[in-house]
Chains A and B, each alone.
Chain A
Amino acid sequence: MIMQSEYIMNLASKGLRIDNRKPEDFREIKLEKGVTGNAEGSARIRMGKTEIMVGIKMGVGVPFPDSLDKGVLIVGAEFSPIASPSFEKGPPREEAIELARVIDRGIRESKAIDLENLCIKKGEKVWMVFIDIHILNHDGNLIDAAGLASIQALLDAKMPEYIEKEEKVNYEKRTKPFPVKFKPVPVTVVKMGESFFIDPSLEEENALGARFTITTMDNGNICAMQKGGVEALKIEEIDRIFDLAVRKAGELRKLLK
């Protein structure tokens, strides 16, 4: 709604938000782990009204020809029509692909998962790790919520046993914890007029000028970035966003169990 967006931008020019949050406030976050029994690891996050479930599934397969001694990591996002009137059935659209790729980049480039460790036999057999993100309700800031839930699901995951002789995976026996080295956490900062807000709601996302996601590791190193929206950002603004993202990522990391 154009009128609503104008109203939000008008408030933003005074540094105010429509739901009376401070610019650097998250909505209420509830993070649970181990929510499904069938997946190797799972997590559910609620960020205000946004709700996302993430499952980790593992299997054994053939490695990609350009990385014969590395396991396979695949991130998929499912925007189910029940989550929002704007989501349709069918192949993933731009937003779903973007979400999956930003999460993938954060986990892959931070080397949170040591893919070389997931090799069973070079060139023939490797572990494949699937991170499946399901949006249950869409009220903005899907990237942060999905990123945090993905790491939580990985931390929750247990490796199933691989039976060499029968060439089968025994999903009944899951004992060894899945090796996660770092905790990359994405934080999205949006620029509305001259104000910078974190954790935009859906109404705010519809009104925003620019959005910038930075995924940082425990030590503050950047491992992924993504820019969205039509407006441009100055270098000083990106510096400011970076400081904010590192600080807020630390807060989010404390929620991980």
Chain B
Amino acid sequence: MEEKDAGEKKAPAKEEKPQAKGLLKKEREFVVPGDKIVDSMEFLPGKNCFRDGNSIYAKKIGIVSVNGRVVSAIALNSVYDPKTDDMVIGEVTEIRDNGWVVDIKSPYHALLPLSQVGEYVDPARGDMARIYNIGDMLYCRVSQVTTAKRIDVSMLDRRTRKFHGGRILEVNPAKVPRIIGKLGSMINMIKDKTGCITIAGQNGLIWLMGEKPVQDLAIKAIRTIEKESHKDGLTNRIGEMLDKAGGAGKPAAKAEPAKTEPAKAPEKEEKK
């Protein structure tokens, strides 16, 4: 038995050597599009990478990540690539007879079909603009993405809503996971410590509502996260930063109750 175990342990060690041979870049090394990362068939191209002949190249500016036999690049900057079940913020740009066209800041526009709205709408009576008009900002769920990049969004979700007032902040979509944090830890902290009502869409749009100084504090925190997303212990540092600037948090607490009402529903949103 012991001999067998030893043999098994040896085997993976042997495999690792030829793997490392083909690897031209180190883990966490910086790459630009077209950089050759691997020069062998031992690896598989992962996210933001592609294979050409024997080699694997980077598709985006980013950092190399090797996970077993899969090589991928973690993008430092990117446009939003829609995925099913993402919660996104979009603007209604067009009303058609089968639904609303929503601009979700991706290379493709999304369609919100009539069937994905929680009430009966009769387009013949021309009351579609009453439900969602051009210029309305929606927090919606990506319900379907086809390979041809036809994107459907849905309002049939408890988290979805239409925004009234407030402002929109644009951030780099690649940094949104850091801004939201694990199980929403980061964004909930920003909400609690500043008192600014904040909703982040996966597509890099963030909706903020609160008094101006409170909003500015939240924006400062978000911009810091965006800039320093690669550093460790970010949550604690942002927490300290917000505590230091705590003076601005107080007027927020006053301002909040008046405006909480429309924001009650999406409290549980950014779990993703």
CA separation between A243 and B91, bound complex, in Å? 39
* Count of chain A to chain B residue pairs whose CB atoms are closer than 8 Å in the complex: 26
Q: Is the CB of B166 within 8 A of A3?
A: yes
A1-B168, A4-B167, A7-B165 are known contacts. Are A16 and B137 too (CB-CB below 8 A)?
A: no
Q: Is the CB of A3 within 8 A of B212?
A: no
Most buried by A among B91, B134, B167, B168: B167
CA separation between A3 and B134, bound complex, in Å? 10
**A163 on the B face (CB < 8 A):** no
Chain A neighbourhood of B216, CB < 8 A: 20
Q: Interface digits, A1-45 against B, CB 8 Å rule (1 contact, 0 not)?
A: 111101100010000101010000000000000000000000000
CA separation between A7 and B167, bound complex, in Å? 6
**B132 on the A face (CB < 8 A):** no
CA separation between A1 and B136, bound complex, in Å? 9
Chain A neighbourhood of B134, CB < 8 A: 2
Within 8 A of A (CB), among B139-198: 163, 165-168
Within 8 A of B (CB), among A155-182: none
- What band does the interface of chain B fall in when counting residues whose beta carbon is under 8 Å from A? 10 to 19
Chain B neighbourhood of A7, CB < 8 A: 165-167
Q: Is the CB of B212 within 8 A of A1?
A: no
Within 8 A of A (CB), among B83-142: 91, 134-137
Q: Is the CB of A2 within 8 A of B135?
A: yes
Residue in A closest to B79 when the chains form the complex, CB atoms: A85
Q: Is the CB of B212 within 8 A of A11?
A: yes
Chain B neighbourhood of A2, CB < 8 A: 91, 134-135
Q: Is the CB of B166 within 8 A of A1?
A: no
Chain A neighbourhood of B168, CB < 8 A: 1, 3-4
A11-B212, A16-B212 are known contacts. Are A1 and B165 too (CB-CB below 8 A)?
A: no
- Distance in angstroms from B70 CB to nearest chain A CB is 32
Chain A neighbourhood of B163, CB < 8 A: 3
- Distance in angstroms from A130 CB to nearest chain B CB is 33
- Distance in angstroms from B136 CB to nearest chain A CB is 8
CA separation between A182 and B104, bound complex, in Å? 48
- Distance in angstroms from A239 CB to nearest chain B CB is 31
CA separation between A3 and B93, bound complex, in Å? 12
CA separation between A2 and B216, bound complex, in Å? 21
- Distance in angstroms from A5 CB to nearest chain B CB is 9
- Distance in angstroms from B194 CB to nearest chain A CB is 16
A-B contact list, 15 entries, CB within 8 Å:
A1-B91, A1-B135, A1-B137, A2-B91, A3-B91, A3-B135, A3-B137, A3-B163, A3-B165, A3-B168, A6-B165, A7-B165, A7-B167, A18-B167, A20-B216
Interface residues, chain A, with chain B CB atoms under 8 Å away: 1-4, 6-7, 11, 16, 18, 20
Closest 7 CB pairs of A and B: A2-B135, A7-B167, A3-B137, A4-B168, A1-B91, A1-B168, A4-B167
A3-B135, A18-B167 known; 6 new pairs, CB 8 Å cut-off, are: A1-B168, A2-B134, A3-B91, A3-B165, A3-B166, A20-B216
